[in-house]
Amino acid sequence: MSTYFQNLVQDVRCDARAFAQNRAALCVALLFLLPWFAAIVTGRNTNPFPALGEIFGLMLVYWFFTRRRAVEETRVRQPIVESALALALVLAWMLFRIGQYTNVYVLPTVSVANVRDVMDTIAPKMLEMVLLPLALWLALGYRPRELGLRSMRFDWIPPLLPIAVLLYFGLQHHTPEEWWARFVYFLFGAGIPEEFLFRGIVQTRLIALVKNPAWGLYLAALAFGFSHLPINLAGASPNNWLSAFQTAFTFQLGIGLALGYAYYRVRALPPLMLLHTLLNAAP
């Protein structure tokens, strides 16, 4: 047991030293924390610590279980073309949401059992963020495994604790009927589509493009935060616009960074899809 703790302390020191010597990682950490600091000093968020605890806690869990594992390389054949294509999908989704929320078109309201917004959110997201990019990247010669669509036993070990906590929290705060409806809605309306597009496609392409994991993670998280602006601003009065941007570039960017780090350490999307679903459904 003493040897285990000695090795753990050694790992902490080694990785902390490597982080302190990594200029890109330090810059990303600073850029990530600046919006939070601005929110605190302006009084717009006087208690950010639960949210930051959730973000850093998830990253810590993944670091703990993968600290002695080599990072798997993801093969990207054409970084420039594929990055542009991936970001075009993000932009297309944002434009779709803007048109929807400004009543350029009206989608039919469809519910299945207790699951709402099937045509409003679930169907468009599954089409634009899963089926379309999957077809494109399969056509480019990639295998599903290379896009993160794998599930091995170890892949499920790091997220076990946060999944268990979120399941307990969700069951404590929702009736079984509410919990099931929320789980299904966020599984197909957030967990599966957003993880596949932003982690499986966008993040890996940006890392290959900039040739730096820290900057690639941050840029993908930034795109993730940007993609939430239409829904954050939908129906908001001008007085609340600042709050919409604040949410996008603090909590939503932070969750994107944490999930991105998790995917960088373990190249498997199914556990992250479940984790993402529970992060949305449990509160």
Q: Residue type for 208, please? A: A
- 281: Cβ contacts below 8 Å, ≥ 6 apart: 166, 170, 179, 182, 183, 185, 186
Confidence at residue 29, expressed as pLDDT on a 0 to 100 scale: 97
Instruction: Please provide the average confidence, as pLDDT, over all residues in the chain.
Output: 94
Confidence at residue 4, expressed as pLDDT on a 0 to 100 scale: 87
Q: 3-state DSSP call for residue 237?
A: coil
Confidence of residue 115 (pLDDT cuts 50, 70, 90): confident
Backbone φ, ψ for residue 64 (5° rounding): -60, -45
Cα torsion at 91, 27, 65, 12 (round to 10°)? 180
pLDDT digits (tens, 9 = 90+) for 85-96: 999 999 999 999
Confidence at residue 239, expressed as pLDDT on a 0 to 100 scale: 83
196 pLDDT above the threshold of 80: yes
More confident residue, 43 or 28: 28
Closest CA to 242 of 232, 252, 251: 232
Q: Where are the domains of the chain?
A: 24-281
pLDDT digits (tens, 9 = 90+) for 213-243: 999 999 999 999 999 999 999 978 888 899 9
Angle CA 173–271–117, to nearest 5: 55
Q: 3-state DSSP call for residue 158?
A: coil
Query: What's the rounded mean pLDDT across residues 171-200?
Result: 95
Confidence at residue 112, expressed as pLDDT on a 0 to 100 scale: 83
Q: How far is CA 111 from the centre of its chain?
A: 26
Q: How far is CA 90 from the centre of its chain?
A: 13
| DSSP-assigned letters across all residues of 93-157 | HHHHHHHHHTTSS-PPP--BTTB--IIIIIHHHIIIIIIHHHHHHHHTT--GGGGT----TGGGS
Confidence of residue 113 (pLDDT cuts 50, 70, 90): confident
Query: What's the rounded mean pLDDT across residues 2-29?
Result: 94
Q: Whole-angstrom Cα distance, residue 17 to residue 211?
A: 21
The structure tokens listed for 103 are: 């009543």
The structure tokens listed for 190 are: 């957030």
Confidence of residue 2 (pLDDT cuts 50, 70, 90): confident
Query: What's the rounded mean pLDDT across residues 57-83?
Result: 95
For the beta carbon of residue 64, count every other beta carbon within 10 angstroms: 13
Confidence at residue 16, expressed as pLDDT on a 0 to 100 scale: 95
107 pLDDT above the threshold of 90: no
Q: Whole-angstrom Cα distance, residue 220 to residue 42?
A: 27
Cα torsion at 79, 70, 27, 30 (round to 10°)? 120
1 pLDDT above the threshold of 80: no
Q: Would residue 7 be called left, alpha or beta, if left means φ above 0 and alpha means ψ between -120 and 50 degrees?
A: alpha
pTM assigned to the model? 0.96
Q: Whole-angstrom Cα distance, residue 143 to residue 206?
A: 19
Query: What's the rounded mean pLDDT across residues 141-169?
Result: 95
**Percent above pLDDT 90 for the chain:** 83
Rounded to a whole number of angstroms, the CA Rg of the chain reads 19
The Cβ-side half-sphere exposure at 245, using a 13 Å CA radius, reads 9
For the beta carbon of residue 265, count every other beta carbon within 10 angstroms: 18
* Selection from 16-25, 42-51, 111-120 with the highest mean pLDDT: 16-25
Label residue 175 exposed, middle or buried (CB < 10 Å: 0-12, 13-18, 19+). exposed
Confidence at residue 13, expressed as pLDDT on a 0 to 100 scale: 95
